[in-house]
Amino acid sequence: MRRKATAPSTPDRSSYHHGTLRQSLLEAGEALLREKGFKGFTLRECARRAGVSHAAPKHHFGDVKGFLTEIAAGGFDELTRMLRERIADATTLDEEFIATTRAYVEFAQAQPEHFRIMFRDDLLCAESDRLATAMQLTFTELTNVILRQRGEPEIRCEEVERDQSIVAILDDIMIGWCHVHGLAHLILERQLPPVPAELQDGMLITVSTRLAQLIQHGGKS
Amino acid sequence: MRRKATAPSTPDRSSYHHGTLRQSLLEAGEALLREKGFKGFTLRECARRAGVSHAAPKHHFGDVKGFLTEIAAGGFDELTRMLRERIADATTLDEEFIATTRAYVEFAQAQPEHFRIMFRDDLLCAESDRLATAMQLTFTELTNVILRQRGEPEIRCEEVERDQSIVAILDDIMIGWCHVHGLAHLILERQLPPVPAELQDGMLITVSTRLAQLIQHGGKS
DNA sequence: AGTTTCATTTTGACATTGTCAAGATCAATT
DNA sequence: AATTGATCTTGACAATGTCAAAATGAAACT
């Protein structure tokens, strides 16, 4: 029955109107995801944790699909943030590519259930602008890594849609994007051949470095 | 109330014992997956389609996790079959690598819900020998593609576990495996940049060819 | 033959879940 | 002061996974 002490002047007053219910539900959802995983993730439990009745979420998110869409968008925001942070720390191009791969993989390992939802087209509503924008921001970050590898000018998020410079290097984007995502997903779902954990990062470095060189050289030779 | 006309001499007799219930349930599950997707996939509906009561599956599969594990194993069997078929048709090494990627991607697109379950560690029980074997067969097929690319002798499935020749080329295996899986998964979950469908296969060919060359050359140069 | 054993299937029950419709509550505008 | 509209609650419904206990029938045993 505890309430968030943020919005109203009365901090812990039990009032009919929650005030920040939408945000509280999202936070409850993310916490639940971490603690109980996807199978323990229910709308009713989120409502319980936010201290409201079981039907309260409906007004803010419609149905469970709408709720998951917001959760996924938040995941892409966080992933974008992590990518930017790591990329900023890198000093060379090779290092940047490795840092990107590492950040992506580590996000998937640190927030496995969150990551799974982000890449479940059947659970999300594709019409959501909120989600589309968050995804595009992540994609822009990854694309710019490739563009820098090739010594070409970066793009801004708004230019991504059907941008010509992107189409021109689509092959390279695909190589980088598939590499990074495939690795993260396979590790997450434990589908990899038996690699000792301590060798994993070394392998990540070797593979990333070779792919980075391939991308730097472009299609030629 | 229709019964399978396979096992007993009496084809359509309504009998207390089903005879081939286990197999019928699996078939019902796969059909359900294709028709209604994962959200329409329930144990009770499978039982209904097999013409038995709602609790009948319990004796054969334990719980839903056990059931999904069998479904996933069947998916890996089918994927292995498709890979072998396509690989056998290829005549050159480059062609073989492309064919492998195509088969993997096409499987994911043709059986999306099946594919999703196969790569959901949280839904499957990792202790299942049936599943582990089926996965290892798929992995062996992919590994041998890489080994042939590098002109090295192939391995048999039983040798995969901790095989030295695998550890030696782990980097190359990872490049191929991540590429193929990342591409398939991203296409399936509609996370790709806006690529016109007719350009998709061309891109797949270009990317696969460049990666195949990278693998053929090994780590050197 | 008759009996027993055991795998298989049914029946009935329980706690949970997502969703919906109707009503209650409260803030803000008129 | 009255009304409007957003926000939340209550109560209900059908469905699901799982469980325990009982029913069924096939096969083994005496």
Q: How many CA atoms lie within 13 A of B180 on its CB side?
A: 28
Residue B139 corresponds to which tokens in the numbers above? 């992995």
* pLDDT of B72 over the 80 cut: yes
Going from N- to C-terminal start, the domains of chain B cover 21-61, 64-217
pLDDT at A212 over 90: yes
Domain A21-61, CATH number (from 1.10.10, 1.10.3470, 2.40.50, 1.10.540) = 1.10.10
Q: Which of A143, A162, A179 sits opposite B182 (nearest CB)?
A: A179
A103-115 confidence digits (pLDDT tens): 999 999 999 999 9
Chain C positions with a protein C-beta closer than 7 Å: 7-13, 16-22, 25-27
Helix (H, G, I), strand (E, B) or coil at B41: coil
| A183-203 mean pLDDT | 88
Q: Is A114 on the interface with B (CB under 8 A)?
A: no
Question: What pLDDT was estimated at residue B12?
Answer: 35
Query: Which residue of B100, B141, B166, B174 is the best one to mutate when testing the A interface, meaning the one whose CB has the most A CBs within 10 A?
Result: B174
CA distance B174 to chain A (A): 7
Residue B3 has pLDDT above 50, yes or no: no
Chain A neighbors of B214, CB-CB under 8 A: 210-211, 214
Q: Say which amino acid occupies A37.
A: G
Q: Write the single-letter amino acid at A92.
A: T
B88-100: average pLDDT: 97
Q: Do A122 and B161 touch (CB under 8 A)?
A: no
A-facing residues of B in 28-57 (CB < 8 A) are 37-39
Architecture per CATH, A64-216: Orthogonal Bundle (1.10)
Is A119 exposed, middle or buried (CB count within 10 Å of its CB: 0-12, 13-18, 19+)? buried
Q: What is the mean pLDDT of chain A?
A: 89
Q: Which CATH number is B64-217's, of 2.40.128.90, 1.10.357.10, 3.40.50.2000, 1.10.3720.10?
A: 1.10.357.10
pLDDT at position B14 is: 54
CA distance B166 to B46: 41
- What does DSSP assign to residue B45? H
Give dist(CA A72, CA A68) in Å, integer.
6
Is B17 within 7 A of strand C by CB distance? yes
Q: Is A185 on the interface with B (CB under 8 A)?
A: yes
User: Is residue B174 within 8 Å of residue A207, measured between CB atoms?
Assistant: yes
Best to test chain B binding among A35, A120, A174, A216 (most B CBs inside 10 Å): A174
Q: Which chain B residues in 66-105 lie under 8 Å from chain A, judged by CB atoms?
A: none
Nearby residues of A150 by Cβ (< 8 Å), 6 or more positions away: A169, A172, A215, A216, A218
Residues of chain A above pLDDT 90, percent: 76
In the three-class reduction of DSSP (H, G, I as helix; E, B as strand; rest coil), residue B125 is classed as: coil
Residue range B164-199, pLDDT digits in tens: 777 778 899 999 999 999 999 999 999 987 677 788
Please give the distance of CA B96 from its chain centroid, rounded to a whole number. Answer: 19
